[in-house]
A = this chain, B = another copy of it.
Amino acid sequence: MATPPDDETLLLDLNQAFYRAFAGRDAEQMATIWAKAAPVCCIHPGWPPLFGRDAVLEGWRRILQNPAQPPLEMLAPRVTLWGDVALVTCFERVEGQYLIASNLFVREGKGWKLSHHQAGPVATPPPGGASNDETDPDLDDLDDMDDDDEDDDDDLPPGSGTIH
């Protein structure tokens, strides 16, 4: 009965572990989550990109050691797979505001490692509400992640779009 977990399950668990390391201010655990062989890059909200494992982990040490850093809640994770590279997008809730994150994982050794992270502000809460106590995502959500279905149109914000 014990089948090995599939990639989506592994990636969602690892994405949770990333946010658990953040919540626990655990720099050692954070270091195990980031890739060692593959190149890494990290873009915190408002920060310029950090390139290379040393710079990325030093950035995290600063954040994790900072007593002014408010807690962060991860919501609505969603997996996209491209073979040996995978993206987990998720919302982050910080002090009642929302961020949207792209977490890019690569296969390294027997598992997956985080190789790129970008988070930035988003104007809307995650679909389905402002809070999420589930550890597993909605399966329907995973099933249609790479569909070209028309339903996705409701993801579009109201009004005409602008980048600024």
A72/B120 in contact, CB under 8 A: no
A163/B63 in contact, CB under 8 A: yes
Please state the number of chain copies in the assembly: 2
Please judge, given known A-B contacts A53-B148, A153-B58, whether A161 and B63 are in contact too, CB under 8 Å: yes
- The complex places the Cα of A49 from the Cα of B82 at a distance, in Å, of 17
Give chain A's interface secondary structure class: mixed
- The complex places the Cα of A116 from the Cα of B147 at a distance, in Å, of 15
A selection of 24 A-B contacts at a CB cut-off of 8 Å is: A38-B82, A39-B80, A39-B145, A41-B80, A41-B87, A41-B89, A43-B89, A43-B120, A47-B123, A48-B122, A50-B155, A51-B144, A52-B148, A53-B148, A62-B156, A63-B162, A66-B162, A69-B161, A84-B84, A84-B85, A85-B106, A87-B104, A104-B104, A121-B121
- The complex places the Cα of A129 from the Cα of B127 at a distance, in Å, of 39
User: Given known contacts A45-B121, A54-B152, A94-B164, what 13 new A-B pairs fall within 8 Å (CB)?
Assistant: A44-B163, A45-B120, A48-B100, A48-B157, A51-B78, A51-B145, A54-B149, A54-B153, A55-B152, A55-B155, A87-B104, A95-B164, A120-B121
- Chain B contacts of A123 at CB under 8 A? 46-48
From B53, B58, B122, give the contact of A156 (CB < 8 A).
B58
Shortest beta-carbon distance from A99 to chain B in Å: 8
